[in-house]
Structure 1
Amino acid sequence: MFTRRAFMAAASAASLSACAAKPPAAAEPPPPPPMPARYGAIYTEPHPVPAVPDGVVDERLWRQEVENPFPFETTGTIIVDPDAAYLHLVTSPDRALRYGVSVGAAGYGWNGDAKVQFRRKWPVWKAPDEMIARRPEFAPYSVANGGMPGGPGNPLGARALYLFQDGKDTLYRIHGACEPKYLGKSVSSGCIRMLDQDVIDLHDRVQDGAKVVVLPSVQHHTFEVPY
């Protein structure tokens, strides 16, 4: 006999089952924060620099003023930490500018103290012989052929800082042309790459002869990029 009590129990169970079958819809994730204006397009350069799109670069990698983690270094010193993907420019004993970077194999293969021997705007890129051996299509840009002129598609981007040690070229560069999606990651080629907006800013703040400290890396994981 189907009693009222049994009917109410069945109805309650059905109600609970229906609720369990239809969980509330997940809340939409918040939109990514917009990139600061300093990462907008630049049209005052010899070549246009495109804007960095929203939602691609982690906020921790945005150029920002921070407490100086290297108070023992003099103002104007650059410190590169490959593993953290940071470049710091000491601006005072208490403060520093921090930039996000990506690091290539050359960036992991050398560390120590150097100096900025010179800086270049829209530098010429000369493909190393070992790269041409792997990628023959870069042969037109060899040292012997004069390299690739500065401009869109040049792997050095809008600026390059050339690092020397004891008067000799380390072949280590801090340069632009980092694609936003690679910022903060390890890449197979290049030295220390920055967003063009950031390397332009860094270039204008440092002086030739500035001290550069490249910290040793304890990790080395790379993936392939076009050059």
Structure 2
Amino acid sequence: MLTRRMFVASGAAAGLSACARQAPTPVAAPAPVIPPLPAFYQAVPDEPFPVPAVPEGILKPRYWRQDVANLWPQRARGTIVVDPDDALLYFVESPEIATRYGVSVGAAGYAWNGTARLQFRREWPVWKVPAAMIARKPELAPYSVAKGGMPPGPGNPLGARALYLFQNGVDTLYRIHGDADPRELGRSVSSGCIRMLNQDAIHLYERALHGADVIVLPSMKSTGIGGIY
């Protein structure tokens, strides 16, 4: 039997329930929208080995090849500046303009800095594995300098192009090369120096000047990961 006291109590409880703060319904943050890639990131059809298109929706516009204001107007055309911490590479076009590329940075990209000379460049280079890397990874012994290295093509970590840097006539073992995974751009990777998308490595190769300065800025990051390509 519902008494008057029970009715009043139930009404008060209902009122309290109605006034209680309801837990908010979680709302998922929308995924960032990455605009369509420029046409120059399509597949490159006229190379001796496949250069597939960069997949859509992965590469942030910050890492697209683009013209930007030249931060080093006093430097000669052809100067290359690498900023490992920002994962960006600049090619000086004029006192006003530089071409900027996104890169991924391996351990060697943090371990060396200074000014080097672009000694030579290669299309579809052979990868000659340094002895120090073979000591850590004996399975790479078939690709040693003495055995002629790894032939060019798919699977070769130097990719479609490589630039070789020397200092005072000595090979720094520092390379700027292709075959970057677009998912890696802007990140630290396990080994290698400076990796570029093959499309960008080809573009830089065609513009690079023999003997030009290559300035690698000091890194504020530290890494214990070994490996040099």
TM-score, normalising length: structure 2: 0.86
Unaligned runs of 5+ in 1: none
Q: Which residue of 1 aligns with 2:209?
A: 207
> How many angstroms apart in 2 are the aligned matches of 1:181 and 1:224?
21
Alignment pair present for 1:49 and 2:40: no
> Could you tell me the percent identity over the aligned residues?
61
> How many angstroms apart in 1 are the aligned matches of 2:68 and 2:132?
39
* Secondary structure of 2:22's aligned partner: helix
**Structure 1, residues 136-191: CA drift from partner, whole Å, max 9, x if none?**
21111111110011101101000001111222211111101111121111223111
> How many angstroms apart in 2 are the aligned matches of 1:221 and 1:58?
25
Q: Which residue among 75, 88, 102 is the counterpart of 1:73? A: 75
Q: Which residue of 2 aligns with 1:187?
A: 189
CA-CA distance at 1:9 after TM superposition: 8.0
Runs of 4+ with deviation above 3 angstroms: 5-17, 19-31, 221-225
Moved more, 152-161 or 37-46: 37-46
Whether the 8 Å CA contact 1:88–1:96 is kept in 2: the answer is yes
CA-CA distance at 1:71 after TM superposition: 1.4
1:1-227 correspondence to structure 2 within 5 Å: 1=4, 20=22, 23=25, 26=28, 28-29=30-31, 31-221=33-223
> How many angstroms apart in 2 are the aligned matches of 1:159 and 1:43?
15
Unaligned runs of 5+ in 2: none
CA pair 66-134 structure 1, distance change in 2 beyond 3 A:
same
> How many angstroms apart in 2 are the aligned matches of 1:26 and 1:167?
56
Whether the 8 Å CA contact 1:72–1:93 is kept in 2: the answer is yes
- Aligned amino acid, residue 89 of structure 1: F
- Aligned amino acid, residue 98 of structure 1: R
TM-score, normalising length: structure 1: 0.86
> How many angstroms apart in 2 are the aligned matches of 1:204 and 1:14?
72
* Secondary structure of 1:43's aligned partner: coil
- Aligned amino acid, residue 159 of structure 1: R
**Structure 1, residues 107-160: CA drift from partner, whole Å, max 9, x if none?**
222211111111100000011112112212111111111001110110100000
CA-CA distance at 1:192 after TM superposition: 1.0
> How many angstroms apart in 2 are the aligned matches of 1:109 and 1:27?
38
The count of residues paired between Structure 1 and Structure 2 equals: 225
Whether the 8 Å CA contact 2:107–2:226 is kept in 1: the answer is no
- Aligned amino acid, residue 88 of structure 2: Y
CA-CA distance at 1:14 after TM superposition: 5.8
- Aligned amino acid, residue 69 of structure 1: L
Whether the 8 Å CA contact 1:123–1:159 is kept in 2: the answer is yes
> How many angstroms apart in 2 are the aligned matches of 1:199 and 1:151?
15
